[in-house]
Every structure is written in C-alpha cells, then in structure tokens.
Amino acid sequence: MADNQKKLVVLTGAGISAESGISTFRDSGGLWEKHRVEDVASPSGFARDPRLVWRFYKARYLQSLEVEPNPGHYALVQIEEQLGGRFTLVTQNVDGLHYRAGSQRVFEMHGRLRTAFCTACNTKKDMSELDLELDIPICPNCRAAMRPDIVWFGEIPYYMYEIESALKDCSVLMVIGTSGAVYPAAGFVMTAKYMGARTICVNLDRPDNMIFVDEFHKGKAGEILPNLVEPLLNSLA
C-alpha cells in the first residue's frame, strides 16, 4: 500500500453482463456467438474477411443498446460514489454497461463496442458517428477502413500499466462474473493476493484460480452485490 487509505479494485467479466442479456464470451464448443474465434476476434480474421467481422460487431453493438445495466452494475456505482479515488473498476466486457450505469473510473481492458478506429490514421470515432449501413465503415478523415475498437487475440489489452499499479496498491480485489481462466486477467487475483490484498469472488461457479480466493459468493452478481455494498464499505473504512 502506498498510503494508509484502503483501496478496492473490482474486476468484472462476462457473468455480470449475461444477467443483462448479453451473450457470454464463448460456448463449450469454442465458438464465439456461433463464429470461430479466429474468424471474428483476430487481426488475421479481419484481414481475411473484414465484412464478416463488421457484421459480427455491428450486431453486438446494436444488441448492447437494447439491454440495460442490472443491480450488480448499480451496486458498483454505489461503492464508487463512496470510495471515490480509492475505487478502480477493471472490466473484460466491451458492452459499456458500466458506463451507462454511471461508473466513472473504468478501465475497459478489452476495448469497447461503442467506438471504432481507423486502420490508417488511427482516428477514433463513436459508432454513432459512422455509417453502419456500409459493409465496412470508412474513416471520415482519410476514407480508409475503420475497425472495431476491440482488443483481439494476439493483441495487448489496454491500460495494463494502470491495472497492474492498482492491483499492487489495493487492500481488496473483488472479481465478479469471470472464470479466472483467461489471461492476463486470470493472473490479477494472484498478483493482488501476493501483494497482501484480500480477495473476493462473486460467480455462478467456483473460479479456476480458487486457490487465491479468500471469500467466495456463489450466485448472480445482481442478487449478491447489493447485499455486499455495506459490509465491503465498512471493511474499507
């Protein structure tokens, strides 16, 4: 700990979004919403068939606009309002539901569905500013192809320095709706634990890295998190 103030880091995964109606990351067959991962979530897939990739992400973007944050998202907003700068939220989700719920200090490590960037000049635009009727949206500045602002397999997640710094400086790490199987996020619990933090997990199933978890709450985030707000804040007072 860099100072005497207790700090909380929260990591969320697909489970919290699933409760709002967002499809989970991939099924047991290794498919990502009925597509092979390498076809829709890799630089090589985009180079091979950008139209397919854009069809996939435009559908996911439009789906994200039709769902709403759930009580789990709002419970985290409530915690952030009390802790302020002592709160850091890291999410593996790209749906933007944390922002829509009102969270401010969010690191979207895998990118976001609501933006895209130019493959030539790196201009970033909101999806709402692009012509999504086109098979491949084009950059309004240089007319090159845009690509979804998503971190694909083989690419480095966003904000890794900030996330690692927060993990090394936190008193409590709470992991919500993630299996603990996908790196680098799977290593966050181990990092925080080794640095002396208390680790809490809220998930439908026991995580793969349960050995590093101090406290496990089995169930839905939307049902469990509202009841954890007060005791968690008291432990960080």
Q: Return the CATH number at 74.
A: 3.40.50.1220
Is beta strand 124-126 parallel, antiparallel or unpaired with respect to 198-203? unpaired
Q: Is the pLDDT at 106 greater than 80, yes or no?
A: yes
pLDDT value, residue 93: 95
Is there a catalytic annotation at residue 110? yes
Return the pLDDT at 217. 97
- Lowest mean pLDDT across 33-37, 126-130, 183-187: 33-37
Bridge partner residues of 172 (DSSP):
8, 198
Say which residues have a Cβ less than 8 Å from residue 183's Cβ, sequence separation at least 6.
none
**Pair 116, 106 in one domain:** no
Q: How many CB atoms lie within 10 A of CB 182?
A: 16
Q: Which residue has the tokens 């320095």?
A: 161
Average pLDDT over residues 152-168: 95
Q: What pLDDT is stored for residue 33 in this prediction?
A: 59
Q: Say what the pLDDT of residue 191 is.
A: 93
pLDDT at 181: 72
The distance of Cα 127 from the centroid of its chain, to the nearest Å, equals 18
CATH number, domain at 138?
Answer: 3.30.1600.10
CB atoms < 10 A from the CB of 82, how many? 15
Say if residues 213 and 186 touch (Cβ distance below 8 Å).
no
Instruction: Count the domains in the chain.
Output: 2
pLDDT for res 28: 46
Q: Which of 35, 73, 98, 110 is catalytic?
A: 110
What is the rounded average pLDDT for all residues in the chain? 92
- Residues in Cβ contact with 27 at an 8 Å cutoff, skipping those fewer than 6 apart: none
Q: 44: domain range?
A: 24-66+111-150
Residue 184, preceding peptide bond in cis (omega within 30° of 0): yes
Q: Are strands 111-118 and 8-12 parallel, antiparallel or unpaired?
A: unpaired
